[in-house]
Amino acid sequence: MTIDEAAASDESQAMFNRQLATYRKIVGANLMFHREIYGLLNDVLSRDMARPFRFLDIACGDASASSRMLQESPVAHYYGIDLSPDSLQLASAATAILKCPAELRCCDFADAMATWTDPVDVIWIGMSLHHLQADGKARLIRHVYDALDRRGLFLIWEPTLRDGESRDEWLDRFTALRSAWAALTDEEFAAMDAHVRLADFPESPGDWIAMGEQAGFTRAEQLFLMPNRMGAVFQYWR
Ligand SMILES: C[S@@+](CC[C@H](N)C(=O)[O-])C[C@H]1O[C@@H](n2cnc3c(N)ncnc32)[C@H](O)[C@@H]1O
């Protein structure tokens, strides 16, 4: 991470910590389609990972959606990584419903993945890889490839540009969500908009797929497009 990236990351993380309550409100009102996304992840795991599996939740946040999704699955070990101590405190309570050991690590996911050694079968990144620039994203996906079991699954849910769209155009589409996000106050929405403008760097579907292939994954596919077309879920096969 460069010094500029680290400074932007510190500021965006400080902003995210201040906005944790707003993010939980967004999830509660399903404004980002957590129900559909985590329902899809559950379907993929039931179909492709019937055996007991070790699950790594990169940037788990409060782990509420992951824990609910994993509650009835044969998860053998849960790992959650996040920079936010406040989120991890909530994650500690949320993961208590799991019938397996849950380990939460308070650290930067780029640092954690560069030196990751615990065997894992499923790696999931929900709405966080986009804080890195393109080279940081590519490096992280290479580390994910190295960390994952040979028969493992890797899935991401990340902000995604329309074909030919610029970041500025994507940001303007986010701002235009104001009326659909009526559950937020003007102040909450303005704070989210500022966070997104500072910290969100979406990629095109082709670039998300290419980064996986360049990391060594043999195949990558877009599984789902959010109904508001702001982001998508991608699966990568080793
Ligand atoms: C938008 S939330 C996503 C939470 C959850 N994965 C979900 O699906 O709702 C982004 C999370 O990424 C974490 N985060 C951002 N950058 C990080 C980094 N470099 N290392 C670890 N966690 C990070 C934030 O603290 C926050 O909890």
38-82 pLDDT per residue, tens: 999 999 999 999 899 999 999 999 999 999 999 999 999 999 999
Q: How many domains in the chain?
A: 1
pLDDT tens digits, residue range 167-180? 999 999 999 999 99
The secondary structure of residue 168, as a DSSP letter, is H
Distance 185 CA to ligand 1 centre (A): 22
Task: Please state, in angstroms and as integers, the Cα–Cα distance from residue 101 to each residue in 27, 55, 96, 123, following that order.
Answer: 25, 11, 9, 16
The alpha carbon of residue 56 and the mean position of all alpha carbons in its chain are separated, in whole angstroms, by 11
Q: Can you list the positions of beta strands (E) in the chain? A: 53-58, 75-82, 102-106, 120-126, 148-159, 219-225, 231-237
CB 30 within 8 A of CB 149: no
pLDDT tens digits, residue range 99-121? 999 999 999 999 999 999 999 99
Q: How far apart are CA 158 and CA 199, in angstroms?
A: 13
Cα three-residue angle 77-118-56, rounded to 5 degrees: 50
Mean per-residue pLDDT, 125-139: 97
The ligand 1 site (C-beta within 6 Å) comprises 9, 13, 16, 59-61, 65, 81-84, 87, 108-110, 126-128, 131
% of the chain beyond a pLDDT of 70: 93
Residues in a beta bridge with 105:
81
**Residue 3 pLDDT level (bands cut at 50, 70, 90):** very low
Tokens 């970041």 belong to 167
Distance 104 CA to ligand 1 centre (A): 13
Distance 167 CA to ligand 1 centre (A): 20
Mean per-residue pLDDT, 225-231: 98
Tokens 């499923």 belong to 122
**Residue 36 pLDDT level (bands cut at 50, 70, 90):** very high
Q: How far apart are CA 98 and CA 212, in angstroms?
A: 30
Note down the domain range covering 65.
Answer: 3-237
- CATH classification of the domain holding 16: 3.40.50.150
**Residue 11 pLDDT level (bands cut at 50, 70, 90):** low
The alpha carbon of residue 148 and the mean position of all alpha carbons in its chain are separated, in whole angstroms, by 17
Q: How far apart are CA 228 and CA 174, in angstroms?
A: 9
Residue 7 has pLDDT above 60, yes or no: no
Atom number in ligand 1 closest to CA 61: 27
Q: Minimal CA–CA distance to 82: which of 57, 102, 100, 119? A: 57
Cα three-residue angle 135-42-114, rounded to 5 degrees: 30
% of the chain beyond a pLDDT of 90: 90
The secondary structure of residue 162, as a DSSP letter, is P
Tell me which amino acid residue 233 is. V
Query: Ligand 1 pocket test: which of 122, 128, 140 has the largest number of ligand atoms within 8 Å of its C-beta?
Result: 128
pLDDT at 91 (0 to 100): 98
Give the closest residue (by CA) to ligand 1 atom 1: 127
Distance 204 CA to ligand 1 centre (A): 20
CB 122 within 8 A of CB 156: no
Mean per-residue pLDDT, 186-211: 96
Residue count (the chain) = 238
